[in-house]
Chains A and B, each alone.
Chain A
Amino acid sequence: MAHSADHTHHIVHEDGHHDLEELRKFGFWLFLITDCILFSVLFATFAVLKNSTAGGPGPKDIIEMPGVIAETFILLTSSFTSGLAVLAMNNGSRKGLIGWLAVTILLGACFIGLEASEFLKLVSEGHTIRTSAFLSGFFTLVGTHGLHVSVGFFWILALILQLSRHGITPVTVRKVQITSLYWHFLDAVWIFVFSIVYLMGVI
């Protein structure tokens, strides 16, 4: 009898959680709207400032496409592997899920590494955020995206630890889905960074 009462309670509990997790996902979509607006403002600022080189270098002088193309492919691949992680989760494979998440953030780390070395190279050549409005806009827009990816790196890392402790539960499922949304979103933003900052810069 006691066992059965316990069981009922458990079901209620899970149900409550199910609704709660749906609600949290909805909340995250709202957050993504705000993040989208945040990036639009940075893009608008960059667009306004992009020709104000103030005697400093223009986009053509500083952009080295090979590195940028490598970054792009790495980030796109990481978006794909983050999708594979969700598929593994849906198949109930904790190992596969953790493995693909690990690959995803390793690729993310490579992306951040490449971006950091690009920034460091620019700074060492004397092209800093202080040089001109164009470079101020460039560093803030690209840097904000990089900061987002870095946050995502630590976030997913923390999630991997939680997955190894708790396994696949309604709570961790929601967390994986949310981080995956976040990661795809950053990928989409990068497409715009790539097109507007880099591609339109060198053309």
Chain B
Amino acid sequence: MLDKLINFASWFFVTGDPLIYGADVAIVVTVIAIVFALTYFKKWGWLWREWLTTVDHKRVGIMYIVSALLMLFRGGFDALMLRTQLSFPDMKFLSPEHYNQVFTTHGVIMILFMAMPLMFGLFNIAVPLQIGARDVAFPFLNALSFWLFFFGAMLFNMSFVIGGSADAGWLSYPPLSEMTGSPGVGEDFYIWGVQISGIGSLMTGINFIATIVKMRAPGMSWSRMPMFTWSVLASCIAIIAAFPVLTVTLALLFVDRYLGAHIFTMDGGGNAMMYVNLIWMWGHPEVYIVVLPAFGVYSEVVATFSKKRLFGYASMVFAMMAISVVSYYTWLHHFFTMGSGANVNTFFAISTMIISIPTGVKIFNWLFTMYRGRLSFPTPMLWTIAFIPCFVIGGMTGVMLSVAPADFQFHNSYFLIAHFHQVLIGGAVFGYFAGLFYWWPKIFGFKLNETIGKWAFWVWNIGFYVCFMPQYVVGLDGMTRRISTYGWDKGWWGLNFASTVGGFLMGIGFLFLVWQIAHSIKFMEMDTTGDPWGGRTLEWSIPSPAPLYNFATTPIVTDRDEWWEEKQRMAAGKAEKKRQELSPIHMPKNSAIPFLQAICWFTAGFGLVFHWLWIAIPGFLGVAATLLAHSFNYDTDYYISVDEIKRREAAARRTV
């Protein structure tokens, strides 16, 4: 019996690597510390009432951002392990198998569990406030989306200490990811982790389209909508078009693995290329999904810190919508070399080049917004300005990659790696940082320390160029992606070493970021104005942090940059616009169901990973039970009384 147990444990837990044992200890210590702290400070009730059961979009947004930063830490740590392994030829730091797991995990975490939640966090925080709404369209669904993402991410992360990680690359191409190539549980962790969080993302897409289309404040016509909100709409349209494809593709791969079907297998008539096509039909729109909202952030930031209207509003909207649509017709450029033939390759090469045109339009719009503006350079603006050259270089190398014949040289080399890191970090991550610093005072009511923020900015940026510029060259020198080591004879050492140095600089930049946040929490510099940057859009017209119900009375919009124009009107002595009388505010009640349902999904996914139906079936029954419990519950909302609103407004304005 004991032997059996030991056998089981050595199979169930990942063993044999000192790094993993270290991680095991760290995880156990952290969990004990959290449980102890919550018990000692009697915070369990607070955690449950204020966070785990909340349906408030601002709190959901904060939880997204906290999770994303944790995932950035893990994904970044993976990146540093990869760079350490490549810093010298013939390194023995990671075994090839372990290296495969680390690059797979790095990719999945950075795109799906870092970029996506950071983006959703900004959606949640900014969109309802920008359009003058009290919440998102479906607050319950919003909380459910978050918890599905969270438990999906946890399921994926768990594979690192239990069962073994996926190691077939971030998109898990068959036949390698089929049972024949990956008989372990790693791929199943990948499938269910990504599947569960993907369902959450899909619902977020639906939620924000409904919010933006139906819940704008009176007077906010399409042409008065803030640009970030436009970018979220463009991104969400791409989400609802692309994410169902991911859902099906992963489900089919699981059917292959679990039931022995032959959809993507090499035998039985299966077609592995079908998977590659489908996964990129999601995967390519996905990269635009993550970058479009960053474009929205830049547009807000650049207008605010130039004290000017955004240049070319209509062309900006048109460009974003064009990108959102055309992004669906470029997927094949990820595999020009896989034998689709010249005609097909040409179509996708041209569509790829076409998509760079609206992107170029946007770059000029930002530059012209700054032209003759009254510029100031706090951290959100610094990240925006750093983004422009970075994205131009990344975009140009993207156009080089889109030339199908030339791609046969670049394909799967470090040239590609440098390109997509440059557009994803320089495009998306810079934008999210800009957005995070920009909206931070609105979320938390205090500002972040600018001095440490500038240190973080410079170290991070210098690190970025030192890390990725050499990779273009080493890629042209013939180094391919995903190789775990190389010999001295290749001549790749110097560039790789430089790249590793840059990687660690970015790691130090991240530490500055953590220090910046910790320092700012300690020496909290309160934002008493509600409008610390001299903002232009409605979120800056309310106190910081935003009250529970956002707007005491629904704002009435008469102009594009409504809050800016309102301030001009007030300065000119024109009376403040007549606002509506206070009336009771209809609010959704907190609910434990999103949290519980996500746990049930997690349980079902975990059972299916190990093919343990005795866990999976109760999990699915739990999902069904929570769905029904929600459907049968008619007591889902309450009203905040006028007296309560007055009391809260007075409390918030007292600090004004």
Interface, chain A (partner B; CB < 8 A): 9, 12-13, 16, 22-24, 26-27, 30-31, 33-35, 37-38, 41-42, 45, 48-49, 52-54, 129-134, 136-137, 139-140, 154-155, 158-159, 161-162, 166, 171, 175
Task: Determine the distance from Cα of A73 to Cα of B210 in the docked complex, in whole angstroms.
Answer: 36
Any chain A CB within 8 A of the CB of B269? yes
Of the residues B209, B244, B259, B271, contact of A37 by C-beta under 8 Å: B244
Chain A residue numbers with a CB within 8 Å of B213 are 26
Structural contact, B632 and A54, CB atoms closer than 8 A? no
Structural contact, A136 and B261, CB atoms closer than 8 A? yes
Any chain A CB within 8 A of the CB of B270? yes
Cβ of B157 to closest chain A Cβ, rounded Å:
27
Of the residues B214, B256, B262, B278, contact of A41 by C-beta under 8 Å: B278
The chain A residue with its CB closest to the CB of B213 is: A26
Task: Determine the distance from Cα of A132 to Cα of B270 in the docked complex, in whole angstroms.
Answer: 8
**Chain B interfacial residues counted at CB < 8 A:** 45
Task: Determine the distance from Cα of A195 to Cα of B269 in the docked complex, in whole angstroms.
Answer: 23
Other 18 A-B pairs with CB < 8 A, given A52-B269, A137-B263: A9-B584, A23-B210, A27-B206, A30-B209, A31-B206, A37-B240, A38-B247, A42-B248, A45-B263, A49-B274, A54-B269, A130-B259, A131-B268, A136-B255, A158-B628, A159-B631, A162-B631, A171-B634
Task: Determine the distance from Cα of A141 to Cα of B260 in the docked complex, in whole angstroms.
Answer: 16
Number of A-B contacts (CB under 8 A): 116
Structural contact, B243 and A27, CB atoms closer than 8 A? no
Cβ of B554 to closest chain A Cβ, rounded Å:
12
Return the 8 tightest CB-CB contacts between A and B, nearest first.
Answer: A52-B269, A133-B269, A136-B261, A54-B269, A38-B244, A37-B244, A41-B248, A130-B260
Identify which of A134, A136, A140, A161 gathers the most chain B CB atoms within 10 Å of its CB.
A136
Q: Report if A49-B248 is in contact (Cβ < 8 Å); known contacts: A41-B278, A136-B255.
A: no
Task: Determine the distance from Cα of A64 to Cα of B584 in the docked complex, in whole angstroms.
Answer: 62
Of the residues B202, B262, B632, contact of A133 by C-beta under 8 Å: B262
Of the residues A27, A131, A136, A158, contact of B631 by C-beta under 8 Å: A158
Structural contact, A134 and B274, CB atoms closer than 8 A? no
Task: Determine the distance from Cα of A54 to Cα of B266 in the docked complex, in whole angstroms.
Answer: 11
Any chain A CB within 8 A of the CB of B346? no
Task: Determine the distance from Cα of A16 to Cα of B504 in the docked complex, in whole angstroms.
Answer: 54
Interface string of B137-150 (1 = CB under 8 A from A): 11001000000000
Structural contact, B624 and A37, CB atoms closer than 8 A? no
Any chain A CB within 8 A of the CB of B241? yes
Cβ of A55 to closest chain B Cβ, rounded Å:
9
Any chain A CB within 8 A of the CB of B646? no
Interface string of B483-522 (1 = CB under 8 A from A): 0000000000000000000000000000000000000000
Task: Determine the distance from Cα of A30 to Cα of B213 in the docked complex, in whole angstroms.
Answer: 11
Task: Determine the distance from Cα of A27 to Cα of B215 in the docked complex, in whole angstroms.
Answer: 12
Cβ of B406 to closest chain A Cβ, rounded Å:
30
Chain B residue numbers with a CB within 8 Å of A37 are 240-241, 244-245
Q: Report if A27-B263 is in contact (Cβ < 8 Å); known contacts: A34-B206, A37-B244, A41-B248.
A: no
Q: Report if A45-B634 is in contact (Cβ < 8 Å); known contacts: A16-B586, A30-B209.
A: no
Interface string of B232-273 (1 = CB under 8 A from A): 000000001101110111011001100111110101111100
Chain B residue numbers with a CB within 8 Å of A52 are 262, 268-271
20 pairs from A and B in contact (CB 8 Å cutoff):
A22-B214, A23-B210, A23-B214, A26-B210, A30-B206, A30-B240, A37-B240, A37-B241, A45-B274, A48-B274, A54-B269, A129-B259, A129-B261, A132-B262, A134-B269, A136-B262, A136-B268, A158-B632, A162-B631, A166-B634
Q: Report if A136-B209 is in contact (Cβ < 8 Å); known contacts: A9-B584, A162-B631.
A: no
Structural contact, A133 and B271, CB atoms closer than 8 A? yes
Cβ of A49 to closest chain B Cβ, rounded Å:
6
Cβ of A133 to closest chain B Cβ, rounded Å:
3
Task: Determine the distance from Cα of A13 to Cα of B268 in the docked complex, in whole angstroms.
Answer: 60
Task: Determine the distance from Cα of A139 to Cα of B137 in the docked complex, in whole angstroms.
Answer: 37
Task: Determine the distance from Cα of A54 to Cα of B267 in the docked complex, in whole angstroms.
Answer: 8
Any chain A CB within 8 A of the CB of B180? no
Structural contact, A41 and B249, CB atoms closer than 8 A? yes
Structural contact, B137 and A23, CB atoms closer than 8 A? yes
Chain B residue numbers with a CB within 8 Å of A129 are 255, 259-261
Cβ of A164 to closest chain B Cβ, rounded Å:
12
Chain A residue numbers with a CB within 8 Å of B451 are none
Any chain A CB within 8 A of the CB of B306? no
Chain B residue numbers with a CB within 8 Å of A132 are 262, 268-269
Cβ of A174 to closest chain B Cβ, rounded Å:
12
Q: Report if A12-B583 is in contact (Cβ < 8 Å); known contacts: A27-B207, A38-B244, A158-B632.
A: yes
Interface string of B212-224 (1 = CB under 8 A from A): 0111000000000
Chain B residue numbers with a CB within 8 Å of A38 are 244, 247-248
Task: Determine the distance from Cα of A141 to Cα of B215 in the docked complex, in whole angstroms.
Answer: 37
Chain B residue numbers with a CB within 8 Å of A158 are 628, 631-632
The chain A residue with its CB closest to the CB of B245 is: A41
Structural contact, A154 and B624, CB atoms closer than 8 A? yes
Structural contact, A27 and B249, CB atoms closer than 8 A? no
Task: Determine the distance from Cα of A129 to Cα of B263 in the docked complex, in whole angstroms.
Answer: 10
Cβ of A169 to closest chain B Cβ, rounded Å:
9
Chain A residue numbers with a CB within 8 Å of B586 are 13, 16
Task: Determine the distance from Cα of A52 to Cα of B266 in the docked complex, in whole angstroms.
Answer: 12
Task: Determine the distance from Cα of A166 to Cα of B366 in the docked complex, in whole angstroms.
Answer: 55
Q: Report if A35-B268 is in contact (Cβ < 8 Å); known contacts: A30-B206, A136-B261, A140-B261.
A: no
Chain B residue numbers with a CB within 8 Å of A31 are 206
Of the residues A34, A54, A154, A162, contact of B262 by C-beta under 8 Å: A54
Structural contact, B244 and A162, CB atoms closer than 8 A? no
Identify which of A16, A159, A166 gathers the most chain B CB atoms within 10 Å of its CB.
A16
Chain A residue numbers with a CB within 8 Å of B624 are 154
Chain A residue numbers with a CB within 8 Å of B252 are 45, 140
Chain B residue numbers with a CB within 8 Å of A154 are 624
Task: Determine the distance from Cα of A9 to Cα of B638 in the docked complex, in whole angstroms.
Answer: 12
Chain A residue numbers with a CB within 8 Å of B628 are 158
Structural contact, A33 and B240, CB atoms closer than 8 A? yes
